[in-house]
Amino acid sequence: MSTVLPAPVVVPAQRAAQSPFRRIASDFFANPIAVFGLCLLAIIVAAAIFAPLISPQNPYDLAQLDVMESKLPPGSKAPGGGTFWLGTDDQGRDMLSAIFYGLRISLMVGATSTVLALIIGLTMGLTAAYFGGRLETLIMRVVDIQLSFPAILIALILIAVLGQGTGKVITALVTIQWAYYARTVRSAALVEKRKEYMEAARCLALSPARIVFRHLLPNCLPPMIVVATVQVAAAIALEATLSFLGLGLPITEPSLGLLIANGYQYLLSGKYWISFFPGVALLLTIVSINLVADQMRDVLNPRLQK
Amino acid sequence: MLVYIIRRSMQSVVVLFAMSLLVFVGVYAIGNPIDILINPQADQIDRENAIAALGLDKPLWEQYLVFLKGALSGDLGKSFVHATSALGLILERMPATMELAIAAMLIAVILGIPLGLWAGLKPNGVAGRTIMAGSILGFSLPTFWVGLMLIMVFSVMLGWLPSNGRGPTTLLFGLIPVSFLSWDGLTHLIMPAVNLALFKLALLIRLTRAGTRESLLQDYVKFARAKGLTNTRVIGVHVLRNILIPIVTVIGLEFGSVIAFAIVTESVFAWPGMGKLLIDSINLLDRPVIVSYLLVIVALFIFINLVVDVLYSALDPRVRLTDSKG
């Protein structure tokens, strides 16, 4: 077949034969910086998932902590034979273990809120685009008003109203984020809605739910993946900020933000490591997600495809 | 133009009214400040007297009407904790936040536009690439952690700058207390302002760079070059003037978000502004102060949006036509 086509078109014809997933994967791996970001992210996620296995110490088990070992600088020898590579905090907790466990909580909160917000935002945005009319006006007006205020302000209002706790922080993050998804998916769906396959689906008298979720949704996914990747990073940063302000997660299971806040009071006496290393972990997490998101944006953008 | 401003102002009043209802119900519906404010050993009669004194015994709609009546005469209620006017407390803290926000915005603009312009003119040069990499870092760094690191380096290790507070204030025009007029105050201001500026600096660099690259390809730039104008004039007048339009809009809109993000910076540097007051009030369930802060912020946002729209039409003659029509 390709012999019929003029020479320059041969490459796209081959590419079209590939599955979309393979094409996206091969485009993604063409950028070394993005691959670096992905590897870094994989290591961070692995460290979070396997925290109980790789941590030298269980930071929540008070029996393993000794106040005599508190605020030791990085590299100090532990009496049990090990080394506190990143030092210890005010309760004698090994910072490395605390960071692994903190990562676990930060990533869990970020991922959970993103998935929930994605589901709500997708449903709202698709409903608005598919049905139109008053419902659309109402949903999009709420989105507009919400997006005209900074996320941190809305989060603070919600925390002030709801109170504190893991579930409430996730609720606040979901409330902030669904609007981004609703807006993105609506604009994508409005374009898709006018295409012929949608008309065909409607002619077959399929139920609205089936049309929306089986036909419309899969075609609106690429921009959503990009927004979701960026939003995971934003959610993790926002959760850390709230926890730092003392309005986030409970102190019993500290996330990265709370670990940083804990070290704040010792910073002025020169004990930098209690705040510094959790911050580095937070920074690496956010940077790696942003690097991946940046490349995803280029790979999934149909206008940039060769 | 005048009709437009009047219509927009009336819309703003409606939005403000709706927000006051939402915020009031939201903040007042949940949580019970009595438990925090009243001595747990107080007997039932004392308790009820205190509840009545705070006006918390009335049904919610009545409380809202009392609040609204007060609000229309400029009284947003008394702080439960400080027992003074809530609005007064916020206005007293406002100059500190404003000074911080304006200083941060100035730093972002003064550094961001030239750096973005440079990166846009030489996108493949070493400097251009470094600037862009730096701006990605600026987006990713958590503000509060950067604040801590600044304190660590400049206050603890080097001992150059004070780590918290506002320092001595001087009265500007005999009215507004500001820090930047004295050297000591300036040393207090510089670190929080840089911290707050970082995110906006990254944003402005990216925006200016994108605008520059786009406008360099436009016909008017080619024409200006064909006329034989100097490089300085082409960039300084033709390119800059056109990219300034979206930049001014973003600066205006971002000013509101700088004030909101000042909450974080103020907490890190113990800067005595409105944001720190909000955090303290949330922790103490001081409802009138929370509600007043939010209403002041919403009013500020609406005002900023209006100013941006007016400025926008002044900068770009093409916008004026659509304004007068509707």
* Stretch among A197-201, B36-40, B214-218, B302-306 having the lowest mean pLDDT: B36-40
Q: What is the pLDDT of residue A93?
A: 76
Q: Is B264 near chain A, with CB under 8 Å?
A: yes
Residue scoring higher pLDDT (B31 or A170): A170
| CB-closest option in B145, B149, B163 to A268 | B163
Q: Assign B22 a pLDDT band (cuts: 50, 70, 90).
A: confident
Residue B101 has pLDDT above 80, yes or no: yes
Is residue B63 within 8 Å of residue B144, measured between CB atoms?
A: no
Site of tokens 């039932």: B44
How large is the average pLDDT for residues B287-311? 81
pLDDT value for A118: 92
State both tokens at B11.
Answer: 């819309």
Q: Do A153 and B29 touch (CB under 8 A)?
A: no
A152 to chain B, any CB pair closer than 8 A? The answer is yes
Torsion of Cα atoms, A79 then A84 then A85 then A89, to 10°: -160
Residues of A in Cβ contact (< 8 Å) with B129: none
- Six-digit token string for B13: 């009043």
Pairing of strands B176-178, A83-84: unpaired
The CB density around residue B18, as the number of other CB atoms within 10 Å, is: 12
Q: How far is A276 from chain B (nearest CA, A)?
A: 7
pLDDT top residue among A258 and B43? A258
The span from the CA of B148 to the CA of B163, in Å, is: 9
Res. B8: pLDDT tops 80:
no
Kindly determine whether residue B140 and residue A268, on different chains, have CB atoms separated by under 8 Å. Answer: no
Q: Poorest-confidence range of A110-119, A235-244, B58-67, B112-121?
A: B58-67
Tell me the average pLDDT across B115-121: 86
* Mutation site, B14, B27, B144, B278, interface A, largest A CB count within 10 A: B144
pLDDT along chain A (306 residues), means of 10: 45 56 79 84 87 75 66 67 69 79 89 93 89 86 80 82 82 91 89 84 85 84 85 90 83 81 78 83 89 81 56
Kindly compute the dihedral angle of the four CA atoms of residues B2, B8, B9, B15, in this order, to the nearest 10 degrees: 180
Position B104 scores a pLDDT of 92
Task: Check pLDDT > 60 for residue B93.
Answer: yes
B48: confidence class by pLDDT, cuts 50, 70, 90: confident
Judge whether A154 is closer than 8 Å to chain B, CB to CB.
Answer: no
Structure tokens at A176: 């902030």
Element (H, E) at A77: strand A76-77
Scanning A51-110 for CB atoms below 8 A from B yields none
Higher per-residue pLDDT: B56 or B194: B194
CB contact under 8 A, B140 and A283: yes
A247 to chain B nearest CA, in Å? Answer: 8
What pLDDT, on a 0 to 100 scale, did the predictor assign at position A174?
Answer: 93
The confidence score (pLDDT) of residue A6 equals 47
pLDDT of residue B317: 66
Helix (H/G/I), strand (E/B), else coil: A91: coil
Residue type, B3: V
Structure confidence at residue A187 (pLDDT): 87
Residue A115 confidence (pLDDT): 93
Say if the Cβ atoms of A241 and B143 lie within 8 Å: yes
Cα gap A256→A234, rounded to integer Å: 14
Work out the pLDDT band at B39, boundaries 50, 70, 90.
Answer: low
- Residue A17 has what pLDDT? 58
In angstroms, the CA A73 to CA A269 distance is 12
Instruction: Tell me what pLDDT residue A306 has.
Output: 45
Output the CA torsion sign for A63, A68, A70, A74.
negative
